[in-house]
Structure 1
Amino acid sequence: MFGFILRRLLSGVVLLFVISTLAYMLLYVGGGNIARRILGQQATAETVAQKTTELGLDRPLLVQYIDWLSHAVTGDFGTSWFTGEMVSSGITSRLGVTLSIVIGATVITAIVAVIIGVWAAVRGGWVDKVVQGVSILGFAIPGFLIALGLVTLFALNLKWFKPTGYVPLTESATGWLATVTLPIIALAIGGIAGVAQQVRGSVVDALQRDYVRTLRSRGLSFNRVVFKHVLRNAGGPALAVLAVQFVGLLGGAVIVERIFAIPGLGQVAVTATSQGDIPMVMGLVVAIAAMVVIINLLIDLLQGWLNPKVRLA
């Protein structure tokens, strides 16, 4: 198991390096005149040149990247070119907000998808058709339309929730729950559709295996076979899809946070990207890539626990 974890960690580090390198190169190649963008069109050429030197943008790109990387490995991602805020503090102060929404949506997705996926696979018939139809519909509808619909119905019309804003959990548990419920549901609906389909297919395939008939012939109840053996074998593919969904939820959180006016990473990402704030964008790229690596590691560990053969792959 230790060797399995070590291999996954090393591959994660390599992935972080590749992603950060590509992102850095692409941002600077397509960044245009960054100093001019910061100072505005009214700035003189002399002022722009001074700003370029101040930011170190007059150095070769490779030198700039090595300098950034040497600081980044220590957790120092520099300061925002537009606000002067430390990139690391700007991200960490908002990371908990985004994670509370994304993790909540992931948990809801996993629970609901397993329930309806197993239900559709076991019952079959019209239940299976209805579940598949609803899943396809939920997957097809864009997340921002779902979010707008939830705001209109439950916040503006029924007044059950606040339409915008965020209350930290440390201030009020009920207030926090009231502000994250609709964003979590908006994110989870699309994820449930994709994972439920995978769970349903995996369970249907597992139910046709010989070991199921063998267990049933030994007198084990159908429910025990399904929940103790079938789900264990069908869990691997479902976990893989759930990991992909988590990455999609991170991207979807950007839009959802804008709709609900939640001060998470989404607002920072949109603002930094539109301004060309490269230090902040790079910090966000590394933070999101690190989260993806961690989630994939956890999924690999769960798959290794469910299926020991995975650890040898």
Structure 2
Amino acid sequence: MRRLILRRLLISVPLVIGVSLLTFLLQALTPGDTARAILGINYTPEAYAQLRHQLGLDEPLLTQYWHWLTQALRGDLGVSPISGLSVASEIASRLSVTVSLILVTTLVAAALGIGLGVFSAVRGGALGRTVDVLSLAGHSLPSFWLGLALVTVFAVGLRAFPATGYVALDASPGQWALSLVLPVTALAVHGIAVIAKQTRDGMLEVLSREFVRALRAHGVSERSIVFRHALRNAAIPVVTVVGIVFVHLLSGTVLVETVFAMPGLGGLAVDSTTQHDLPMIQGVVVVFTLIVVAVNLLVDLAYSWLNPKVRVR
């Protein structure tokens, strides 16, 4: 177990560096730069050149990246040239919003998706076809469009939930839950559909095996067969899908947080990109990459717990 964790952590180091370098280069290739964003429309060539020199933008790209990397390795993500705020403190103030949104969405999608998948595999018939339709609909409906529809119906029309904003959990647990209902619903539909489909297919495959028929012949209860044996054997691909859904939600939050005006990392990434705030973009990308690394590690550990015979190499 320790070797697995150590191996994954060692692999994550070049991954984080590679992603940060690619982000740096892609951002440098986009039209405009930080100096133009700060100066606005009316500026002289002299003022533009002077500001670029002050910000170090006239240095070679790899030199700029090396300066950022050496600071980041010391735990310093720099200061935003647009707002003048520390990148680390700004990310820390918004991280809880995105983490709450992703964790709650993943839990809802996993609970409903696994429950619906197991139930449809056991019952079959019309419910199985319903899961197929739900899977197709979940893949087809964009989360941002669904978010706008939910706001129109449940926030503007019925006034049942707040349309925008976020309330911290420690400030008011009840308001925190209400502020998450619509964005979580918009994000969870796709995850529920994918997890339900995978769970149903996995359960049907396991329930058709010889050992299941042997358990039934020995008088083992159907409940025990379904939950103790079949679900555990079908769980490894389901865990993989749950991990993929979690990672997919990182990109989904960028649009959903914008729709619901939530002060999370997704909205920060959008604002920083439009303003060419490179230090802030780099910080957000590094945090997202570290989250992906942590999720992949948890998935690998779940494999070992569900089936000790599995050895991730």
Band the TM-score falls in, shorter-chain normalisation: over 0.9
1:190-209, CA deviations, whole angstroms, 9 ceiling, x for partnerless residues? 11011111111111111122
Structure 1 residues 37 and 149 mapped into 2: Cα distance closer, same or farther (>3 Å)? Answer: closer
TM-score normalized with structure 2 length? 0.95
Cα distance between partner residues in 1 of 2:256 and 2:125: 36
Q: Is the aligned partner of 1:254 residue 2:266?
A: no
1:94-124, CA deviations, whole angstroms, 9 ceiling, x for partnerless residues? 0101111111000000000000001111111
Letter in 2 for 1:266: G
Q: Is the aligned partner of 1:52 residue 2:46?
A: no
Match of 1:14 in 2: 14
Q: Is the 8 A contact 1:4 1:311 kept in 2?
A: no
Q: Is the 8 A contact 1:35 1:52 kept in 2?
A: yes
1:203-222 alignment runs, 5 A limit: 203-222=203-222
Q: Is the aligned partner of 1:170 residue 2:170?
A: yes
Match of 1:130 in 2: 130
3-state SS of paired residue (1:310): coil
Letter in 2 for 1:43: Y
What is the CA-CA distance between 1:218 and the residue it aligns to? 2.6
What is the CA-CA distance between 1:35 and the residue it aligns to? 2.2
Match of 2:236 in 1: 236
Q: Is the aligned partner of 1:267 residue 2:267?
A: yes
Cα distance between partner residues in 2 of 1:51 and 1:198: 54
Structure 1 residues 39 and 255 mapped into 2: Cα distance closer, same or farther (>3 Å)? Answer: same
1:30-74, CA deviations, whole angstroms, 9 ceiling, x for partnerless residues? 354542333223221111111111111222222221111111122
Letter in 2 for 1:24: F
Letter in 2 for 1:99: V
Match of 2:112 in 1: 112
What is the CA-CA distance between 1:221 and the residue it aligns to? 1.4
Cα distance between partner residues in 2 of 1:128 and 1:298: 30
1:13-37, CA deviations, whole angstroms, 9 ceiling, x for partnerless residues? 2221211121112222335454233
May I ask how many residue pairs the two structures share in their alignment? 313
Identity value in percent: 46
RMSD over equivalenced CA pairs, Å: 1.5
1:254-285, CA deviations, whole angstroms, 9 ceiling, x for partnerless residues? 21111211111122111111111111111111
Letter in 2 for 1:287: V
Letter in 2 for 1:311: R
Match of 1:194 in 2: 194
3-state SS of paired residue (1:77): coil
Q: Is the 8 A contact 2:34 2:278 kept in 1?
A: no
What is the CA-CA distance between 1:6 and the residue it aligns to? 1.3
Cα distance between partner residues in 1 of 2:33 and 2:73: 27
Q: Is the 8 A contact 2:255 2:266 kept in 1?
A: yes
Q: Is the aligned partner of 1:143 residue 2:143?
A: yes
Q: Is the 8 A contact 1:166 1:180 kept in 2?
A: yes
Show structure 2 runs of 5+ residues with no match.
none
Show structure 1 runs of 5+ residues with no match.
none
Q: Is the 8 A contact 1:166 1:263 kept in 2?
A: yes
Cα distance between partner residues in 2 of 1:45 and 1:148: 43
TM-score normalized with structure 1 length? 0.95
Q: Is the 8 A contact 2:303 2:310 kept in 1?
A: yes
Q: Is the 8 A contact 2:102 2:246 kept in 1?
A: yes
3-state SS of paired residue (1:57): coil
Cα distance between partner residues in 2 of 1:26 and 1:9: 26
Letter in 2 for 1:132: D
Cα distance between partner residues in 2 of 1:162 and 1:34: 35
Identify the range of structure 1 (291-300 vs 125-134) with the bigger mean alpha-carbon deviation. Answer: 125-134
Structure 1 residues 62 and 138 mapped into 2: Cα distance closer, same or farther (>3 Å)? Answer: closer
Match of 2:71 in 1: 71
Match of 1:299 in 2: 299
Letter in 2 for 1:89: S
3-state SS of paired residue (2:151): helix
Match of 1:91 in 2: 91
Structure 1 residues 33 and 12 mapped into 2: Cα distance closer, same or farther (>3 Å)? Answer: closer
Q: Is the 8 A contact 2:131 2:193 kept in 1?
A: no
What is the CA-CA distance between 1:310 and the residue it aligns to? 2.9
Cα distance between partner residues in 1 of 2:312 and 2:289: 25
What is the CA-CA distance between 1:312 and the residue it aligns to? 4.7
Cα distance between partner residues in 2 of 1:26 and 1:142: 26
Structure 1 residues 36 and 262 mapped into 2: Cα distance closer, same or farther (>3 Å)? Answer: closer
Cα distance between partner residues in 2 of 1:49 and 1:256: 38
1:205-241, CA deviations, whole angstroms, 9 ceiling, x for partnerless residues? 1112222222223321122111011111111111111
Letter in 2 for 1:44: T
Q: Is the 8 A contact 1:31 1:276 kept in 2?
A: no
